[in-house]
Amino acid sequence: MSAAEEETEAVLASVEATEAPSVDPAPSDEVTSEAPTPEPASSTEEAPADKAPTAQSAAEPTPSEQAPSPAAPKPGKAPKPSNLPRPAAPARQGKATSATAPASPMPAPSFTTPLEDAAKFAKVSDDGHVILIDGAEEHPVGQFPDGTKDEALAYFSRKYDEVVSQVMLLEQRVATGAPAGEIQKTLGHLRQTIGERGMVGDMPALRARVEALQTRLDDLKLAEKLALEKAQAEQLATREAIVAEAEELAAKDPQQVQWKQASARMAELFESWKAAQKTGPRLGKSVEDGLWKRFRTARTTHDKHRRAFFSQLDATNSKAKSAKEKLIARAEDLSTSTDWGPTAGAYRDLMDEWKAAPRASRKEDDALWARFRAAQDVFFNARKATNDEIDKEYGENLKVKEQILAEGQKLLPVKDVKAARKVLNDLRGRWEDAGRVPRKDVTRMESAFRKLEEGLKSAEDDHWRKTNPETKARTNSALTQLEDKVAELEDDLTKAQSKGDAKAIAKAQEALDARKMWLETLQKSAQGLR
């Protein structure tokens, strides 16, 4: 029942309770031809037109179904039922509305049948009984007592107009794609009302219009079904993708997983799941339950692997921390040693052990390394300070040795071996007397003095080779043999030339040239030995 109808019914009931039979009917100037059209029902409370106050049925007259008698507010005047105003429906707070079909912003449709057109579909008796002409059939509608024929006809025509208005509203909602289920429910109530035929109007046209609306509604149902199936397929694909990625994350080797990124991604997948479940269409219960079970299992497995990984990592970190704490303790024990050489070697061994030890977490490992390095720094800084003090003392010795090197380098290249040997022996004595030099200069100074000694030794070796008696004897013997051979080959060449033997001449000349080259080379060598 619409809001307007409910309030009209209440007003009429109060009037009926105070009816005065002796009162004259109201004058015609207080009568209106038609009551205002009621507001259409909301999308969730669309009531059929048969819920409006009905006149007494001709077939089954009862007091509650009769149209109300006029009220008697003043003597001599009593308004007719059609004169009663239909108040507008007040706003109802807290009234339930559909969550899926909000009220349409377009104005509610209204239909009115002219009285002369309504008269084509009814017969009205003098006592207010109204008969509906429905095609070839006549059907008693009801009685409107204490009123004119036009008032009776207008009353039951308005009931027809209300149904048509509601059909028009449903047509609008179908056109805008409102939920078909709600429209079908309201249309079913209207069919029932139309079937009772408690109104006056073109019933065949109304039934044809309802059937056309049903056809359009069936098309809307089919479109909704196809859209739902498509949306469910998309929802299934979305859920499957979420589950597949979650299972892929859960199946990875825990040792190869970047846990921060993986955990964040799993949380994102869970939020995507909730969003899809909230905004998307529902799937079948078995499908929903199966997908959720898979997703929950993947999340549980992922979390189990993460916990196991970090538990193992904590154990590894604890072991690494313990091992490195021991190395730090040994390093700190050595930090005050002044036995520079052996202690430096011990620190090198500790460093090798540190590199071989397992790593703790990055933060802890950095802190442990800082302590280990600090212990080494104490030792090496102390050694450096001592060496710096020593180097400062040895600075004057370095100047003396620089001067000795400058004098020795004047001997190179050595020409007089005996004189150079004498000078170098003197320089070596002065070198030893000069004492130690700073550590950073030791290698450089020793290498430079060693080059002086090597230059002298090389000159001595060359001098010995040249003055060795055995070498001279061997060289002289070879010279004699080559000279004899050259003389012999010259004789052979002369004989070949006297005979004019070109082949013998060429051969003798070739052998002679070779022996002369050897003889020249040996003679130069012998000159160096003298």
CB-CB neighbours of 219 under 10 Å: 12
Q: What are the two backbone dihedrals, phi and then psi, of residue 129, each rounded to the nearest 5 degrees?
A: -75, 135
pLDDT at 413: 79
Q: Report how far residue 489's alpha carbon sits from residue 484's, in angstroms, rounded to the nearest whole number.
A: 9
State CA 142 to chain mean position distance. 72
Total residues found in the chain within this entry: 530
Radius of gyration of the chain (CA): 63
Partner residues linked to 132 by β-bridges: 122, 139
Give the single-character DSSP code of 23. Answer: S
Other C-beta atoms lying within 10 Å of the C-beta of residue 107: 8
**Spatial CA neighbour of 510 closest among 498, 496, 523:** 496
Distance CA 40, CA 107 (A): 10
Quote the CA–CA distance of 422 and 429 in Å, as a whole number: 11
Q: How is residue 415 annotated by DSSP?
A: S
CB–CB of 301/248 below 8 Å? no
Residue whose C-alpha is closest to residue 58's, from 162, 121, 152, 161: 152
pLDDT confidence of residue 106: 64
Reading the block at residue 41, the tokens are: 């029902």
Q: Give per-10-residue mean pLDDT for the chain (530 aa).
A: 41 36 33 35 36 36 36 36 34 37 62 91 90 92 88 91 93 89 90 92 93 91 88 89 92 89 92 88 88 92 90 84 87 86 88 85 86 88 82 80 83 77 83 83 86 78 64 64 78 81 82 79 63
- Report which of 456, 379, 346 is spatially closest to residue 411, judged by C-alpha positions: 456
Judge contact between 160 and 141, C-beta under 8 A. no
